[in-house]
Amino acid sequence: MWTRELVVSAPGKVILHGEHAVVLGKVALAVALDLRTFLRLRPGAEGRLSVSLPGVGVRRSWDTPDLRALRERIAADGDESKSPSVEQLDALREFAGIAAGASAPDSLATLAFLYMCLAISAKYGDVPSVDIVVCSELPTGAGLGSSAAYAVCLAAALLMLCGAISCPLQEGESTARWTEEELTLINSWAFRGEQVIHGNPSGVDNAVGTWGGALRYQAGKITPLKRVPTLRILLTNTKVPRSTKILVAGVKEKILKFPAIMNPVLDSIDAISQECQSVLEAMPANPSAEHYPVLEEFFDINQHHLNVLGVGHPSLDRLCQVTASHSLHSKLTGAGGGGCGITLLPPDTSPLAVEAAKQDLCACGFECWETKIGAPGVTLHCCSSLSAQVLHALAQS
């Protein structure tokens, strides 16, 4: 029986360079954002598992014996090294009443929950009767890794509920983190959740959600950056909706169609990530304006490359034009096709210029805010340590 009320949180991310190319084994540089997803666990009615996902309009509850029977039927074998199969996902869709091929946020979120719950419990034992609520400070489907933050929270909570990882929060503590070994397990299960949502994820987003900070990611290899200077970044959400799954599939198609044209673009993006890593690691902790021009050029070149890959959007072109008119440089971040862009704010940018750029971006119908990067990864909280705002959001559902 689960008797405690606890909250798990995980950060969203910003990809500085390497989105899409990272799916094909190239290097990406990514940093954790100070916007998080929160999952609250509470003891639930005996024999019931309830899930409330207000961000995507889901409120479901199942009898635990029904879930156990479904687990046996789909032969979820609880192997974190195996991808979800088409047959397993079809059976889960049928159980949850989700139409075949449905890719709406609520369908994908429910499917990812059911898959992770059954596969994890197949390996480590039943999930006890609990009520789960997930809310987020991240916009959904905007390139900031909301899917990975959701999957990381689910993986940590479900693994803890089944006893596969510890509950590291001692009486009297407000927050706690898991051991390196436990984080590796959380990350591998979160990747399975990302597979349900994205189809073919690289794994960079769940790695940042798990470990936080700033890291280099290539083909499953995670390397924390040696030194990350304080970078001022303006984040702009064009609010144009898009699906990572569809955009990633589109890039694959383009590469298959024009390999000789597209592969050099991917190689160039890889080189940008590597050069950028060297530049960042050589910078002082608080860089001055003279360090920024090279970073700005990398942004400009990569933005052109991403357009060549077919993941641009007129709203992102607009974002880049508006910031350029204030001598600022931007690129899309995440899957593109709308969603968010990032703009570098060199230290000599006057507050008036930043304010004017923000006003022009808002006049386009965009939303923008300055961010702090390098937030901590997946964390366990006691409820009383959370802000009133988060507690309010969790209580709403």
Ligand X SMILES: Nc1ncnc2c1ncn2[C@@H]1O[C@H](COP(=O)(O)OP(=O)(O)O)[C@@H](O)[C@H]1O
Q: Which of residues 35-74 bind ligand PMV (CB under 6 A)?
A: none
Residue 136 binds to Mg ion (criterion: CB under 5 A): no
Cβ proximity to ligand PMV, 23 vs 154, nearer residue:
23
71 vs 198, which CB is nearer to ligand X?
198
Q: Which member of 205, 243, 315, 330 is catalytic?
A: 205
Number of chain positions touching ligand PMV (CB under 6 A): 17
Q: Does 394 bind ligand PMV (CB under 6 A)?
A: no
Interface pick for ligand PMV out of 55, 334, 338, 377 (rule CB under 6 A): 334
Q: Please, what is the angle between helix 105-124 and helix 64-73, to 10°?
A: 80
**Annotated catalytic residue 202:** no
Write down the least CB distance from residue 389 to ligand X, Å: 15
What region does 365 belong to: left with phi over 0, alpha with psi -120 to 50, or beta? left
Instruction: Supply the minimum distance, in Å, between the C-beta of residue 36 and ligand PMV.
Output: 14
202 binds ligand PMV (CB under 6 A): yes
Which residue from 200, 222, 201 is spatially nearest to 210, judged by alpha carbons?
222
Nearer to ligand X, 37 or 88 (CB): 37
Least spacing, CB of residue 366 vs ligand X, in Å? 16
- What x/- string results for residues 246 through 285 when contact with ligand PMV is judged by CB under 6 A? --x-------------------------------------
From the list ligand PMV, Mg ion, ligand X, none, which binds 108 (C-beta under 5 to 8 Å, kind-based)?
Answer: ligand X
Active-site residue flag, 61: no
Using CB under 6 A, which of 84, 201, 209, 287 touches ligand PMV?
A: 201
Q: Does 302 bind ligand X (CB under 6 A)?
A: no
Tell me: does residue 145 bind ligand X (CB under 6 A): yes
Q: Site for ligand X (CB under 6 A): which residue of 9, 121, 129, 136?
A: 136
Q: At what angle do helices 180-198 and 204-211 cross, to 10 degrees?
A: 140
Binding partner of residue 84 among Mg ion, ligand X, ligand PMV, none, CB cut-off 5 to 8 Å per kind? none
Q: Which tokens go with 372?
A: 């702090």
- Indicate which single residue of 22, 56, 183, 295 sits in contact with ligand PMV (rule: CB under 6 A): 22
Q: Select from 19, 137, 182, 270 the one that contacts ligand PMV (CB under 6 A).
A: 19
Write down the least CB distance from residue 202 to ligand PMV, Å.
3
Q: Mind telling me the catalytic residues?
A: 147, 205
| Residues in touch with ligand PMV (CB under 6 A) | 19-20, 22-23, 143-145, 147, 198, 201-202, 204-205, 244, 248, 334-335
Interface contacts to Mg ion, rule CB under 5 A: 147, 244
